[in-house]
Structure formats: structure tokens, C-alpha cells
């Protein structure tokens, strides 16, 4: 599993990615995600039936590996996370973050050291 994109591989996961994008609103399209990955601003982690998209966010005092999108089988996603975290550590990240629907708070993440810290809210203006 590599954090790189082969454009044909991304096509295999468009449905999972689109579901995650639909939940998050209209901030990104599949084409936007592909551009982020192909330009190296995000990393694409494909599994057999699941995928994760991450990005590194640098702050003045920390460097985060941010889990930006995920979709597919929960058991497979759980198995995918440790090597991605290893990759983040190897690239200088000291913290992992994620943005997702509230259901993730009750998933395997809770049992593997993740905890809810903030809630993101929005409204149309």
C-alpha cells in the first residue's frame, strides 16, 4: 500500500469517495481530490475494497497527518490505518487528525486510541 495515485486505481474507488464527499457538502469534487493527489498535496491509500485519503497539515508547532476521506469496509479500513500512521511518523507528523461523520466516534477508532475532541458545525448563509 503506497500513498500515491495511479489514476486508474482512483476510478475503482470513486463511489466510496463520492459518498464521503456528499456527506461533507460541496467543498470538493472527485476531480479536485484527484488533483490534490496527483500534485502531492494529498495521499491516496487504496485497499482491496476500501480507500483512505490523507494530507499533511503543517502548523507553527506541529505537523499533522490528517485523514481527509475514507470509505469502504470498516475491518479493512482498521487494518489500513497502522501503516499509514507509520508513514506519517516517518514524514515528521506528531499527531493524526480526522474529519468525519459522528458515527466514526463509535467505530473501531474509539478502541484504537482516537477520541472526539471537537465538533465541526456549519450552516448556509
What are the tens digits of pLDDT across the range 38-68? 899 999 999 999 999 999 999 999 999 999 8
Residue 94 covered by a domain: yes
Instruction: Let me know if 45 is exposed, middle or buried by CB neighbors in 10 A (0-12, 13-18, 19+).
Output: buried
Residue 27 covered by a domain: yes
Residue 116 covered by a domain: no
The total domain count for the chain is 1
Residue 49 covered by a domain: yes
What are the tens digits of pLDDT across the range 91-111? 999 999 887 766 676 777 777
**pLDDT band (50, 70, 90) for residue 5:** very low
pTM: 0.80
Residue 117 covered by a domain: no
Q: What is the pLDDT of residue 1?
A: 46
Task: Residue 92: give the domain boundaries.
Answer: 7-111
What is the domain-level CATH number for residue 19?
3.40.630.30
- The Cβ of residue 89 has, within 10 Å, a number of other Cβ atoms equal to 12
Residue 124 covered by a domain: no
Amino acid at each position: 500500500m503506497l500513498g500515491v495515485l495511479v489514476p486508474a486505481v482512483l476510478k475503482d474507488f470513486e463511489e466510496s469517495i463520492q459518498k464521503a464527499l456528499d456527506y461533507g457538502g460541496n467543498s470538493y469534487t472527485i476531480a479536485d481530490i484527484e488533483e490534490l493527489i496527483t500534485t502531492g498535496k494529498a495521499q491516496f491509500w487504496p485497499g482491496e475494497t476500501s480507500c483512505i485519503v490523507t494530507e499533511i497539515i503543517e502548523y507553527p508547532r506541529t505537523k499533522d497527518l490528517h485523514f481527509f476521506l475514507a470509505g469502504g469496509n470498516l475491518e479493512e479500513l482498521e487494518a489500513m490505518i497502522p501503516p499509514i500512521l507509520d508513514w506519517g511518523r516517518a514524514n515528521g507528523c506528531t499527531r493524526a487528525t480526522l474529519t468525519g461523520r459522528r458515527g466514526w466516534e463509535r467505530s473501531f477508532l474509539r478502541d484504537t486510541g482516537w477520541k472526539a475532541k471537537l465538533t465541526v458545525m456549519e450552516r448556509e448563509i
